[in-house]
Amino acid sequence: MRKKIAFAFIMAIFTTGIVTFAAISVNLGFTTGFIRIWLKSWGISYVVAIPAILFIAPKVESMVDYLFMEKDKKIIK
């Protein structure tokens, strides 16, 4: 469980940072206060992403396992 929590915190740092930077730069451009706006958005996104990764990722992993299990069974038959 500690590994999953560490993964969520680290993964959220990178994904939220990249996505918020891209979205803000496209929508606002590199205006005055860009860094302040980006860091604020990054912080909010990070707080939202942690529980999302912890609770949604296992379900997504199960769905992917199911999808590939079905394809693997068809190939074997």
pLDDT in tens, 45-60: 999 999 988 899 889 9
Q: Determine the pLDDT at residue 69.
A: 81
pTM: 0.72
Taking the C-alpha atoms of residue 4 and residue 22, their distance in angstroms, rounded to an integer, is 27
In which region does residue 33 sit, left (phi positive, over 0), alpha (psi from -120 to 50) or beta (all else)? left
Per-residue CA distances from 11 to 24, 36, 46, 59, 70 (Å): 20, 22, 10, 17, 28
Taking the C-alpha atoms of residue 51 and residue 23, their distance in angstroms, rounded to an integer, is 21
For 2-25, the pLDDT digits (tens) are 888 898 899 999 999 999 999 999
Q: Determine the pLDDT at residue 32.
A: 93
Q: Determine the pLDDT at residue 50.
A: 92
